[in-house]
Amino acid sequence: HFTPYASESIGDGKRCIVGVTTDDDGLNQRPVAYVAGSEIKRAIWIAPLDPPPNTFQSRATHCNHHGAALFVLLQSDTQPEQTLSQTLLRVVKLDAATGAVQAQRNVAVPKAHTAWVDEGASHFRWQGDVLTISGNYRRQSDQDDQTPFTVHLTHDLNP
């Protein structure tokens, strides 16, 4: 059971598709990325991605490419109860030809208790040689107030 979250062109008639697989009940979300040729139903490779440690479920929500690599954003929940859960962000760098994981880094959002990135390519994009991630966060002390954030990473996932 696969649900896509985003599909981005990566050149040469190929697309990066990211989303989530679930069990029969729609639970137990696990992130997945794959590259498809001109026919989207024909996968060139599929990469089930490991959720970060100490998380309940995870989704691959954004994909972008730079050079010979794909960059995938994971949004992962720490608990099944949403009112108690934190959403944590992680970027995974994949080899565009094979889907092999090359690197991964948690996205640090200062002062955030929980953070998220809305759908849309404009929230996860390359600006020159810098990957720009923009979203919102909440502090633990004020769960009703959300604040925008922007984080920048290099090709090697360094801040």
Q: Does the pLDDT at position 141 exceed 90?
A: no
Which pLDDT belongs to residue 105?
97
Tell me which residue has tokens 């479920």.
Answer: 57
The DSSP call for residue 141 is: T
Tell me which residue has tokens 């002390």.
Answer: 141
> What mean pLDDT is predicted for residues 123-138?
97
Q: What confidence tier does 25 reach under pLDDT thresholds 50, 70, 90?
A: confident
Report the DSSP beta bridge partners of residue 12: none
Q: Does the pLDDT at position 40 exceed 70?
A: no
Structure tokens at 107: 């996205």
Report the DSSP beta bridge partners of residue 33: 18, 47
3-state SS track over 42-93: CEEEEEECCCCCCCCEEEEEEEEEECCEEEEEEEEECCCCCCCCCEEEEEEE
CA 131 to chain centre: 13
Which pLDDT belongs to residue 41?
66
Tell me the pLDDT tens digit for each residue of 52-100: 999 999 999 999 999 999 999 999 999 988 778 899 999 999 999 999 9
Most confident segment among 82-91, 100-109, 136-145: 100-109
Q: What confidence tier does 140 reach under pLDDT thresholds 50, 70, 90?
A: confident
Compute the radius of gyration of the chain from its Cα atoms.
Answer: 15
The DSSP call for residue 127 is: E
Q: Does the pLDDT at position 46 exceed 90?
A: yes
Triad 14, 68, 20: Cα angle to 5°: 55
CB count within 10 Å of CB 137 equals 19
Tell me the pLDDT tens digit for each residue of 106-128: 999 998 999 999 999 999 999 99
Does pTM surpass 0.85?
A: yes
Could you give the CA distance from residue 18 to residue 34 in angstroms, rounded to a whole number?
6
Please report, rounded to a whole number, the percentage of residues in the chain having pLDDT higher than 90.
81
